[in-house]
Amino acid sequence: MNLELFVLGSGGMMPLPGRALTSVLVRREGELFLFDCGEGTQVSLRRLNLRWKKITAIFISHTHADHVTGLPGILMLSSQVDRDEPLYICGPPRIREFVDAMRRTLDMYINYEIVVREIEGGAEAFTGDGYRISSHPLVHTKPCLAWCLEEDMRPGVFYPEKAESLGVPRGPMWSMLQDGSPVSLADGRTVHPRDVLGERRRGRKFCFATDTVAAPGLADFARGSDLFICEGMFDEELAETAAEKRHLTAAQAARIAREAGVRRLGLIHYSPRYADRELKKLLGEAKEIFPEAFLCRDLQHVNLPHED
């Protein structure tokens, strides 16, 4: 089962040519999940040929303009593509007030159901077949949430030689055992999945955090992530500015990634003071602390394979 990420925008505060405002899309089989929806989200979706009709849910970190200005267009456009399924919008307290005011002020024509969920930090926001999406409170100038998509545990490796030695015939019974169901043999014996499978394996984990200082519990929330997308808005020379504005430096993001034991760190939400060629300074400071750091770039595609 594929799990992949598309960077729709990587900038913070204001867009730049070639750098839309922060937005990340995760695709898991036929479902799409959007994390923040900054200005330029629609353009990036179109350039990547991604079908926004398939977006199941949108997860908003907070309601500062650079994280939500792409939302009106997404909502209105979805009315033009014959959307049938509900669209879920999850965010911090008052996200419902924001969505309602936006729909009312813009006199939006919406012909599908919008389900808004206000999430208190630490609560589970959304569940589906084989995954769950949860939140964690961040420390910013207004209520702000980090998000985590985590898959359920997977069955262990199937050992065909064990199945054969127990007399399980090839075919549907092997599939049933691999799916976690016991099978009954013609001689009356029952073979259980534990008889032919190895230890259960962990699913994949993706975490997204932006617009915060080093919030309590964030490292634990991101722990073990296969990919941790985290803001690295400033370099270390501007650490005081970052603290005043309730943002992270790239080095601070790297320290959180190291403490959390993540596999990879993707920096995002760069200050517009950094031209593209200057972003290497942020990356260099992060890699000194966490070598598996990289810069998120608009239109970038990242696969999240299973460990085994």
Q: Which residues pair with 28 in a beta bridge?
A: 3, 31
For 286-302, the pLDDT digits (tens) are: 999 999 999 999 999 99
The answer on 60 and 169 residing in a single domain is no
Q: Which residues pair with 91 in a beta bridge?
A: 118
The answer on 180 and 223 residing in a single domain is no
Domains identified in the chain, total number: 2
Domain that holds residue 259: 3-154+201-303
The answer on 255 and 206 residing in a single domain is yes
The answer on 264 and 184 residing in a single domain is no
The answer on 92 and 16 residing in a single domain is yes
pTM summary value: 0.91
**174 falls within a domain:** yes
**224 falls within a domain:** yes
**79 falls within a domain:** yes
The answer on 41 and 136 residing in a single domain is yes
**178 falls within a domain:** yes
The answer on 129 and 48 residing in a single domain is yes
**28 falls within a domain:** yes
The answer on 104 and 33 residing in a single domain is yes
- ∠ CA 226-232-237 to the nearest 5 degrees? 140
In this prediction, residue 66 carries a pLDDT of 97
The answer on 272 and 147 residing in a single domain is yes
Place 97 in a pLDDT band, splitting at 50, 70 and 90. very high
For 205-233, the pLDDT digits (tens) are: 999 999 999 999 999 999 999 999 999 99
Decide which of 196, 224, 253 is a domain's last residue.
196
Residue 143: which CATH number? 3.60.15.10
What is the average pLDDT score of the chain? 94
Give the 3-state secondary structure of the chain. CCEEEEEEECECCCCECCECECEEEEEECCEEEEECCCCCHHHHHHHCCCCHHHEEEEECCCCCHHHHCCHHHHHHHHCCCCCCCCEEEEECCCHHHHHHHHHHHCCCCCCCCEEEEECCCCCEEEEECCEEEEEEECCCCCCCEEEEEEECCECCCECHHHHHHCCCCCCHHHHHHHCCCCEECCCCCEECHHHHECCCECCCEEEEECCCCCCCCHHHHHCCCCEEEEECCECHHHHHHHHHHCCCEHHHHHHHHHHHCCCCEEEECECCCCCHHHHHHHHHHHHHHCCCEEECCCCCEEECCCCC
Place 268 in a pLDDT band, splitting at 50, 70 and 90. very high
For 147-193, the pLDDT digits (tens) are: 999 999 888 888 888 888 888 889 888 888 888 889 898 888 898 88
**What are the catalytic residues?**
66
The answer on 186 and 150 residing in a single domain is no
The answer on 39 and 181 residing in a single domain is no
**308 falls within a domain:** no
The answer on 107 and 229 residing in a single domain is yes
For 53-69, the pLDDT digits (tens) are: 889 999 999 999 999 99
Q: Which residue has the tokens 């009709």?
A: 53
Whether the per-residue pLDDT at 51 is higher than 80: the answer is yes
In this prediction, residue 164 carries a pLDDT of 84
